Amino acid sequence: MKPLFDPADFRLPEGVTHVCAAGETPFLKRHARAFEAYAEDKSLGHHGRAPQEAQIERAREGAAAMWHVQPGDIGFVSNVAEGVAMLVESLDWRPDDNVVLDPDEYPSDVGPLALRHEPRPQLRFADVMDPAAVAAQVDARTRMIVVSAVSYLNAQRPDLAALRRVADRVGALLVVDYTQGAGWMPIDAGITDFAFSACYKWMLGTTGVAIAYWNRARQPGWAPASAGWFNITGNSIIGGGRPDYVGGLQLKPDAMRFTRGNPAHAPLYVLNEAMDYLRQYDAHAVQAHVQRLTGALLARLAQHGIPSTTPQDPARHGASVCVEHPEADAAVEAMYARGVWAWGGRGRIRISFHGYNGMADVERIEAALLASLP
């Protein structure tokens, strides 16, 4: 099986198998023109703002199309942790409120809750791969179920529809981090109340911007607890161009209320180039491609008696294969020396595929892994 994307479109060193998509994807060569366009527009002074604002709207339309929602539902934050923190800060927490999450949930999704000042919500942990276990933890005081659509740790993919039903039974928000799925997995974000995703992994963008989705149909009254110059409307301005700080600020009516200050224009130029590239390929075809590769690697690991924490069922795993090992970091470095660039950390080797990979990469990974494991 050949790569779905042309590897020549990326900054890939000759002879390297790049399987770091869950951490960082290689840069598209076309991103050079995105930086050039941004530099040109930024240098135009006042007249440069119109093309920059056009890039914002273009990015909203592109992300909305990928997530099957409306452009007005899409805003931008600097990273997922900022978006989750804004959501956490906006809720009227009461003593004894709780949040249910997986014990291995990503820190960006847990940190804003764990460090919240009083009243601090109780964190309840349950295996999100088992909706019944989650249901056993929720009650009338559950405010949120927070979950990653694909786990960063082991590439497990929970049943979001089942978790939506659990949340609805107690009136809780379903908050989803799509970072490990956006860019290779078809997404229907309307199942969530709020959703976020970084853009520097399978989305092929860069750091500095993350997608923030607000389901206005399900949560029409939501508002952040803080504002900046960008997310307030012109109606907030009184004489002399001064905002009406005493009378009250009016927030933008759509998801751009997530963006308090200047949007990250340069990363949005890059994101637009990335989404233009991804739109050349059917999302279901990309998913089928990477899951054929993950399935092939999982089968080869099984043949060698190497256990993986990633589920075998493609309906329950993402675009990565994870192997726990006490010498994982050393093995990743040994694989790197053999031209296979995987990702380490947290006691596991993580091998992540995207459209620029093919079956020849699976063969190289197999050989490098066998030679690198102590």
For residue 2, tell me if it sits in a domain: no
| Phi-psi sector, 208: left (phi>0), alpha (psi -120 to 50), beta | left
Among candidate residues 117, 86, 84, 73, the one with its CA nearest the CA of residue 225: 86
Q: Give the mean model confidence (pLDDT) for residues 34-47.
A: 97
Residues 216 and 272 in one domain: yes
Which pLDDT does position 237 carry in this prediction?
61
pLDDT at 244 over 80: no
- Under the banding of pLDDT at 50, 70 and 90, the label for residue 235 is low
For residue 1, tell me if it sits in a domain: no
pLDDT at 324 over 80: yes
Q: What is the CATH number of the domain that holds 62?
A: 3.40.640.10
- State how many domains the chain has: 2
Residues 67 and 184 in one domain: yes
Final residue in a domain of this structure, among 278, 302, 323: 278
For residue 271, tell me if it sits in a domain: yes
User: Which residues does residue 77 pair with via DSSP β-bridges, in sequence order?
Assistant: 210
Residues 17 and 157 in one domain: no
Final residue in a domain of this structure, among 278, 299, 331: 278
Q: What is the CATH number of the domain that holds 295?
A: 3.90.1150.10
Q: What is the pLDDT of residues 172-213, one digit of tens each?
A: 999 999 999 999 999 999 999 999 999 999 999 999 999 999
Which pLDDT does position 253 carry in this prediction?
95
Which pLDDT does position 273 carry in this prediction?
98
Other beta carbons within 10 angstroms of residue 225's beta carbon come to 11
Which pLDDT does position 245 carry in this prediction?
78
Final residue in a domain of this structure, among 249, 278, 307: 278
The C-alpha atoms of residue 259 and residue 323 are separated, in whole angstroms, by: 38
Q: What is the DSSP letter of 121?
A: P
- Under the banding of pLDDT at 50, 70 and 90, the label for residue 1 is confident
For residue 225, tell me if it sits in a domain: yes
Residues 255 and 287 in one domain: no
pLDDT at 151 over 70: yes
Residues 41 and 118 in one domain: yes
pLDDT at 239 over 70: no
Which pLDDT does position 236 carry in this prediction?
59
| Token pair belonging to 82 | 């900022």
pLDDT at 50 over 90: yes
Residues 12 and 37 in one domain: no
Residues 87 and 133 in one domain: yes
C-alpha distances in angstroms, 200 versus 69, 101, 232, 289, 334?
21, 24, 28, 20, 25
- What percent of the chain clears pLDDT 90, i.e. is strictly above it? 93
For residue 128, tell me if it sits in a domain: yes
Which pLDDT does position 242 carry in this prediction?
73
Residues 37 and 12 in one domain: no
Residues 118 and 199 in one domain: yes
Average pLDDT value for the chain: 96
Which pLDDT does position 238 carry in this prediction?
61
The C-alpha atoms of residue 112 and residue 121 are separated, in whole angstroms, by: 11
Q: Which domain holds residue 224?
A: 32-278
Which pLDDT does position 117 carry in this prediction?
87
Q: Give the mean model confidence (pLDDT) for residues 307-322.
A: 95
For residue 100, tell me if it sits in a domain: yes
Which of 156-160, 240-244, 291-295 bottoms out in mean pLDDT, i.e. has the lowest? 240-244
Q: What is the pLDDT of residues 124-146, one digit of tens each?
A: 999 999 999 999 999 999 999 99
pLDDT at 62 over 80: yes
Q: Is 15 exposed, middle or buried (0-12, 13-18, 19+ CB in 10 A)?
A: exposed
pLDDT at 247 over 80: no
Name the residue with higher pLDDT: 353 or 1.
Answer: 353
